[in-house]
Structure 1
Amino acid sequence: MAKYVLRETALTLLTRIGEQGGFSHVLLDQEINKQQLSRQDGGLLTEIVYGTLQRRDLIDYQIQPFISKQKKIKPWVKWLLYMSVYQMEFLERVPDHAVIHEAVEISKKRGHKGISSFVNGVLRNVQRKGLRSTDEITDPVERMAVETSHPKWLVERWVAQYGIDVTRDMCEANNHHLPMSVRVQPLQISREEAMNTLMEDGFRVEESIFSTQGFIVLEGQILKHPLFTQGKLTVQDQSSMLVAEMMDLEPGQRVLDACSAPGGKTTHIAEKMQDQGEVTAYDLHEKKAKLVTKKAEQLQLTSITATKADSRKLQDIHEQETFDRILLDAPCSGLGVLRGKPDIKYHKSEEDIFSLRKIQDELLEHVAPLLKTGGKMVYSTCTVDRHENEEAVQLFLTNHPEFEIDPTFEEGLPKELQGSIGKSEYGLQLFPQEWDTDGFFLVRMVKKG
């Protein structure tokens, strides 16, 4: 694909994501597949889109002196400036003159001479004068918010919960690439065999400490490799792999996965049980429940039944004390996955955290009676907010004295994680900067006899 066309595609995607609320990871995947982009072109498109989204607020702050006289700027022009400045400042392999030339050509095609002159003028000024410094922002929290392109309300919230140092490290980590990790289907292939095969084919891989089935792909196109296309591997973040590892599973158990789509954890549960037993999976949307079924079929797992249902009403379907294990991977704000979905930080509000917490409380309340006495329940989220995590667990335990944090929870964690900075009396909070994963929370509770 010509670089001009690639950048025009990047601009279209950024405008859709930034102005219409499209999901970055979904739109990018669709575009790469639709245009059948090469690995190199797909990588550059992803870099421009994700990088621009990750640094949006910083770039906006930096270019204000050059655009302040312009009364109204069309959204696509604004995003063209953002992505051009991102390439000039953060992508060393792209020469400034090429970025400016292509931005001007795009603006000529999409707009008129006045717009192309404006774009050319702003970018030439950036090249000549350099960008505005953040040193003039005196409030340290506001400066951090601008420098790392996170909403100020979010930075303030994290600073109040975790302190300024952890927050700074988290915000900076959110602007860096998340390494891809995969999980073997152990009934098809061992981790060692899969890693050896990939290394022979020129991949760079290393074992994950989070799961005996997991490894990290440092170099190589895994999605086109036969191991992946044949259903012997599945993509899953390391932090997410920890869930099934911590469920204390055995073959023959009855397990409920209350919020199962798209099926990564569900299928991992079935694998840990050697595909022996019953994994009953639900999702609120039929389309998403079908994704779980499809994932199970791809991995040749037969113990999973996925159905559409509201898990707050499962007592209408199942008797109390039906399941040996329950996973509640609750709907959440998603603030732990900003590395792979950077647009989330601009679309979420503080109110979302509180409204989601109500759903989390309701789900805990309604699935808990379905657990057998002596059974274990894992509560997990892909967020880093205490209100959705430790505070939700604390309230549940206060209202349900028949439950307690499993006394063996911590010793069951991989030894490297037992001293994690996010370990608390109510669970384990994984931060993206600590293990180069998504931000994630989980805890295992037991129903006392």
Structure 2
Amino acid sequence: MTPAARLSAAIDLLCAIENVPRRPADATANAFFRERRYIGGGDRRAISGLVWDVLRSWRRLHWHLRDVPGGASPRLLCGASLILGGQPMEHARTLYTGERYAPDLLSSREDIALKALAGRELTDAAMPRAVRLEYPDWLDPRLEASFGDALETEMAAMEGSAPLDLRVNLLKGTREKALAALRRESLLANPTELSPWGLRLDGRQPVTAAEPFRTGLIEIQDEGSQLVVAAMNAQPGERVLDFCAGAAGKTLALAMTMENRGQIVACDVSAQRLEGAVKRLRRASVHNVERHLLVSGDKWIKRRAGTFDRVLVDAPCSGTGTWRRNPDARIRLTEQDIRELTFKQGEILDRAATLVKPGGRLVYATCSILSDENMQQITAFLARNTGFELVPAGGDVLPETLREQSHFALTPYRNGTDGFFAAIMRRHPA
């Protein structure tokens, strides 16, 4: 595709994303490219790259285009992103040729708006802090509560793109075997610093087409998510519950730590997500997992009260810790979302706690950086459930500094991972 055709496709994709604002952008992009299979891999990456640059710079681009009559359209946002990202002004403007596969010619209004960007930088000192750091204004006090004086440093680290992290499936082979297998596919990875199971690649790479992925030797999983699994410290032969399992990413890692021995029950309220786990479990050669769909009025929880050695609550959350991967989530998030999520998290945590046997472990985790969803949630839970207490994570997988902690928060700036929180609790022995 020509640069003009790529720009035109990026504008179309951004329009598609704007048309379904509550749908994750990656889901819209996947559907967009499925309907256009003629677009090759290199072109897909270039088109997605431009759109994701726009999403990462959403508030700053709108600030620069704030005086444009009619607002900042996808056409202007893409052009502004190119210019403020370093492309020569004249080159970016001449992509709007109106020829076949190219964007329509710029209107006089659009041309004036793009010309006004000459000599500007994407980030301007005059921008309000929330605009400069790309988060909603109403989130400012919550981020202050989470980070204090480190807010600007932490949020600046959230602006870039995330690396691609993999977890080696020890049921299939070692980290060294996985590294060698990836090298044979011209995929150069390095061991992660915190997780002994992790590998890291720069940027998006075609890992899912590689032989080590197809055979189940590796899984895509952020290093922070791997450390949440390590905090469970699940042992072979135990009975373990993944209460909000989704498509079973952490379930797979738990099965690995348990050496495929014992029993894991993967629960979720979505039949589609649980069904999607089947292929992953089979590919990873995991044999000790039972899936259970949680439905309204289900007696399953009551009948299994106090029967699990370890329970993981990977709670539904704002996903603020994954903003490097999902920059569109910054745009969609509302205060009402936070209120609804924190209420739901408390309910889920209370229900899951009833399933922990005396002396058993309960781990609460989110991919959020907000105190509302993290430590505040734990403080409230312990006040309601005096039979539980925070305990050190322990084990021999977590870094020593984390083993001594009863809860930890990971961030891109401090740890190089997505933003994750985990709290480790024990139910008092009978």
Give me the TM-score of the superposition, normalised by structure 1: 0.87
Is residue 367 of structure 1 aligned with residue 352 of structure 2? yes
2:160 maps to what in 1?
Answer: 176
Contact 1:252 1:273 in 2 (8 A): yes
Counterparts of 1:303-318 in structure 2, within 5 Å, are 303-310=288-295, 315-316=300-301, 318=303
Partners of 2:134 and 2:397 lie apart in 1 by: 37
CA distance in 2, matches of 1:12, 1:351: 30
Kindly indicate whether residue 68 of structure 2 is the aligned counterpart of residue 101 of structure 1: no
How far 1:354 sits from its partner (Å)?
1.7
Amino acid aligned to 1:57: R
Matched AA of 2:259:
Q
Could you tell me which runs of 5 or more consecutive residues in structure 2 were left unpaired when the two chains were aligned: none
> Which of 60, 67, 88 does residue 83 from structure 2 map onto?
88
Letter in 2 for 1:101: T
Q: Does 1:430 align with 2:413?
A: no
Deviations 1:22-48 (A, max 9, x none): 311222334445536544323322221
User: In structure 1, what is the equivalent of residue 231 of structure 2?
Assistant: 246
Matches for 1:252-263 after TM superposition, within 5 Å: 252-263=237-248
Q: Aligned partners of 2:46, 2:228: CA distance in 1, in Å?
A: 33
- Cross-structure match for 1:300: 285
SS of alignment partner, residue 307 of structure 1: strand
* Runs of 5+ consecutive residues of structure 1 not aligned to the other structure: 138-142
Contact map agreement 2:231 2:393 (CA 8 A) in 1 = no
Are 1:283 and 2:278 matched, yes or no? no
Question: 1:161: Cα distance to partner?
Answer: 3.3
- Report the equivalent of 2:135: 150
User: Aligned partners of 1:407 and 1:314: how far apart in 2?
Assistant: 33
Structure 1 position 264 matched with structure 2 position 249: yes
78-87 or 192-201: bigger deviation = 192-201
Q: Is the 8 A contact 2:10 2:51 kept in 1?
A: yes
Contact 2:4 2:103 in 1 (8 A): no
User: Could you say which residue in structure 2 is the equivalent of 1:396?
Assistant: 381
1:209/1:414 contact within 8 Å kept: no
Q: For the structure 1 residues 232 and 161, does the alpha-carbon distance in structure 2 shift closer, same or farther, using more than 3 Å as the test? A: closer
1:2 maps to 2:2: yes
Alpha-carbon displacement from aligned partner over 1:400-441 (angstroms, at most 9, x marks no partner): 22211123449873136579xxx7xx6211122222221110
SS in 2 for 1:351: helix
Question: CA 1:316 to 1:185, structure 2 compared with 1: closer, same or farther past 3 Å?
Answer: closer
Q: Is the 8 A contact 1:405 1:443 kept in 2?
A: yes
Shift of 1:177: 0.9
The 8 Å contact of residues 5 and 103 in structure 2, kept in 1 or not, is answered as no
| Cα distance change, pair 314–100 in 1 and its aligned pair in 2 (3 A) | farther
2:113 alignment partner, one of 122, 145, 152: 122
Query: How much does 1:196 deviate?
Result: 2.4
AA paired with 1:11? I
Task: Return closer, same or farther for 1:12/1:190 CA change in 2, 3 Å cut-off.
Answer: same
Which residue does 2:195 correspond to in 1? 211
Letter in 1 for 2:91: A
Asked if the contact 1:151/1:346 (under 8 Å) is kept, the reply is yes
Does 1:24 find its partner at 2:8? no
Counterpart Cα distance in 2 of 1:204 and 1:372: 44
CA spacing shift, 1:156–1:326, aligned 2, 3 Å: same
Say if 1:293 and 1:62 are closer, same or farther in 2 by CA, change over 3 A.
same
Once residues 146 and 211 of structure 2 are traced to their aligned partners in structure 1, the CA distance between those partners, rounded to angstroms, is: 45
Paired with 1:170 and 1:10, the residues of 2 have a C-alpha distance of 30
> Hey, what's the Cα distance between the residues in 1 that align with 2:244 and 2:81?
38
SS of 2:264's equivalent?
strand
- For residue 102 of structure 1, what is the amino acid of its counterpart? L
Report if the CA contact (8 A) 1:63-1:132 is conserved.
Answer: no
Tell me: CA distance 1:36–1:417, structure 2 relative to 1, closer, same or farther (3 Å): farther
Q: Offset of 1:148 from its aligned partner?
A: 2.1
> Are the equivalent residues in 2 in contact too, given 1:289–1:308 (CA < 8 A)?
yes
Distance in 1 (alpha carbons) for counterparts of 2:62 and 2:101: 22
Q: Is the 8 A contact 1:315 1:367 kept in 2?
A: no
2:359 partner SS: strand
What's the secondary structure of 1:407's corresponding residue? coil
**CA drift at 1:238:** 0.8
Mean CA deviation greater in 27-36 or 433-442: 27-36
**Partner residue of 1:46?**
48
Distance across 2 between alignment mates of 1:444 and 1:332: 18
Please give the residue correspondences for 1:345-360 in structure 2 after superposition, counting only pairs within 5 Å. Answer: 345-360=330-345
Give the 3-state SS of the residue equivalent to 1:428 in structure 2: strand
With the length of structure 2 as denominator, give the TM-score of the two structures.
Answer: 0.90
Distance of 2:350 and 2:125 partners within structure 1: 49
Q: Which residue of 2 aligns with 1:140?
A: none
Match of 2:424 in 1: 444
1:364-396 CA distances to partner (integer Å, 9 max, x unpaired)? 111111111111111000111111110111111
More helix by proportion, 1 or 2?
1
Q: Does 1:59 align with 2:61?
A: yes
Distance in 1, matches of 2:102 and 2:239, equals 60
Asked if structure 2 preserves the Cα contact closer than 8 Å seen for 1:251 and 1:273, the reply is yes
Q: Is the CA contact 1:429–1:442 (under 8 Å) kept in the aligned structure 2?
A: yes
* Partner residue, 1:195: 179
Do the aligned partners of 2:165 and 2:220 also contact (CA within 8 Å) in 1? yes
Q: Give the SS at the match of 1:336.
A: helix
Alpha carbons 1:6, 1:41 under 8 Å: kept: yes
